[in-house]
């Protein structure tokens, strides 16, 4: 891995981490626990198209780990890791099939998988299977957030691509 690639991975990780930490400072948009925009996932979706797949996974893993260290707890790490792991497992293979034009769809599916991962972890930790009833509400809000983050990632990807073509 060359220095330029390491710098790009570090920069994307730092941006995702900053967005994540800033997002924790925003008051909840709705009075329902667990519903948040997930804005750092703009970088996740962007990275899946910008970087090699293992590098994008590295950005996500570093953001989850560092985000929990800077503003979370062990339980935050568990929920974030579970959601992110399932999300990346869904988005990674789909990113080979879907062109950047469909980043919004990739993001929506990733958001739904993220919510499922978090609910499954909550059920495992609390031993409360009835938490599954919370999944439809989380999925709807996650899909809305995923649409926004996917569209944002597509704009970022498109503008950076145009800039690089113009520069070359």
> What pLDDT sits at residue 56?
97
Instruction: Kindly report, residue by residue over 106-129, the tens digit of the pLDDT.
Output: 999 999 999 999 999 999 999 999
Long-range contacts of 133-136 (CB under 8 A, 24+ apart): 134/34
- Taken in order 20, 23, 24, 28, the sign of the CA dihedral is negative
Residue 73, pLDDT score: 81
For the chain, the domains span 3-167
CATH of 3-167, one of 3.40.50.720, 3.40.80.10, 1.10.1760.20, 3.30.56.10: 1.10.1760.20
Global confidence as pTM: 0.93
Q: How far apart are CA 141 and CA 98, in angstroms?
A: 23
Q: Rounded to whole angstroms, how far apart are CA atoms 40 and 44?
A: 7
Whole-angstrom distance, CA of residue 156 vs CA of residue 168: 18
Residue 72, pLDDT > 90, answer no
Q: Which of 24, 82, 19, 74 is nearest to 45 (CA)?
A: 19
pLDDT reading at 75 higher than 90: no
19-45 pLDDT, tens digit each: 998 988 888 878 877 788 999 999 999
């Amino acid at each position: 891995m060359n220095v330029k690639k390491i710098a790009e991975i570090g920069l994307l990780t730092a941006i995702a981490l900053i967005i994540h930490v800033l997002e924790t400072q925003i008051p909840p948009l709705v009075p329902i626990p667990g519903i948040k925009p997930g804005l750092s996932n703009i970088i996740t979706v962007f990275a899946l198209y910008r970087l090699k797949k293992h590098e994008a996974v590295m950005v996500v893993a570093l953001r989850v780990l560092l985000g929990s260290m800077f503003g979370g707890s062990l339980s935050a790490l568990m929920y974030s890791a579970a959601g992110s792991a399932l999300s990346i497992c869904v988005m990674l293979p789909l990113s080979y099939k879907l062109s950047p034009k469909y980043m919004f769809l990739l993001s929506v599916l990733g958001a739904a998988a993220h919510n499922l991962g978090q609910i499954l972890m909550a059920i495992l930790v609390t031993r409360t299977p009835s938490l599954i009833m919370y999944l439809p509400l989380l999925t709807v809000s996650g899909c809305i957030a995923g649409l926004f983050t996917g569209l944002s990632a597509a704009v970022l990807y498109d503008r950076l691509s145009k800039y690089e073509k113009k520069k070359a």
